A = this chain, B = another copy of it.
């Protein structure tokens, strides 16, 4: 317990997010907002709306988790220090003369540093969400996973919803819930921290926080340097998906039937040839009734 390694990770897990990591998080969030087309002009024409959007980008995860737990979504506004910090960063980024901050941010090392620090705050948010949900629902592990996930990755959902309402963005049926890579990592982390909290995972919390943070930061920086969007989880996902949802493929003797299945889904394709079998005719009767 008292090994130097434990001391190190324990000290790491007690790091305060407040001034520097929070600043990095707000910086990355507001810069991501500024890169959207039209954001800079909107800030000049309607600063209140732009400030509101910036707050959603900075505090989106907290707002979402508050809504899911029926706490006031405005609770983040009571933390005056953080709101003023985020507002200052929004102000500096959008209204600094000569766009100095944007130019400084365009150096890759600055971006790497800020992005890495932002990923550190993600771990803290997940742990905070899991602990907070546990104080509501003892042993409610599904809720704990959901709240940890919402607080860690909910900002993306809030900002997408905000864009939807503002009409900047039309949803396609295939993209709304397609999970981004950070979202998947956050889900994974939320599951791990929940199981650690319910003591199904025999590892101390500060060790898990340390390793998960290192993993987050290295993957993020690797992705930024190599300019790829998602690497490491693909084989893991494929295996899991094949185990959970792909084992039906082995039943080759019903392959033919399942090929003709889509015709009963109401899509109205007329391709299903009248092959034999009682079940087929039943299915058709059914399709006629519901179509």
Q: For the complex, is A203 an interface residue (Cβ under 8 Å from B)?
A: no
Q: For the complex, is A6 an interface residue (Cβ under 8 Å from B)?
A: no
Structural contact, B261 and A177, CB atoms closer than 8 A: no
Structural contact, B245 and A44, CB atoms closer than 8 A: yes
Q: For the complex, is A201 an interface residue (Cβ under 8 Å from B)?
A: no
Structural contact, A254 and B98, CB atoms closer than 8 A: yes
List the one stretch of A13-21, A66-74, A117-125, A212-220 in contact with chain B. Answer: A66-74
Question: Given A73-B67, A98-B254, A142-B77, do A173 and B177 touch, yes or no (CB 8 Å)?
Answer: no
Structural contact, A73 and B78, CB atoms closer than 8 A: no
Q: For the complex, is A282 an interface residue (Cβ under 8 Å from B)?
A: yes
- Complex partner residue of A36 from B35, B161, B170, B266, CB under 8 angstroms: B266
Structural contact, B136 and A37, CB atoms closer than 8 A: no
Structural contact, A177 and B251, CB atoms closer than 8 A: no
Which residues on the B side are within 8 Å of A200 (C-beta)? none
How many copies of this chain does one complex carry?
3
Which residues on the B side are within 8 Å of A137 (C-beta)? 78
| Size class of the contact patch on chain A | 35 or more
Which residues on the B side are within 8 Å of A108 (C-beta)? 286
Considering the chains assembled together, what is the distance between the CA atoms of A256 and B36 in angstroms?
22
11 more CB-based (< 8 A) A-B contacts, given A103-B283, A106-B285: A35-B266, A37-B265, A47-B241, A52-B177, A68-B73, A70-B70, A96-B248, A98-B257, A103-B282, A106-B264, A167-B171
Interface CB pairs A-B, < 8 A, 18: A35-B266, A36-B266, A37-B265, A40-B262, A47-B241, A47-B244, A48-B187, A52-B177, A69-B72, A70-B70, A74-B146, A80-B141, A96-B248, A97-B250, A99-B254, A103-B279, A103-B282, A165-B171
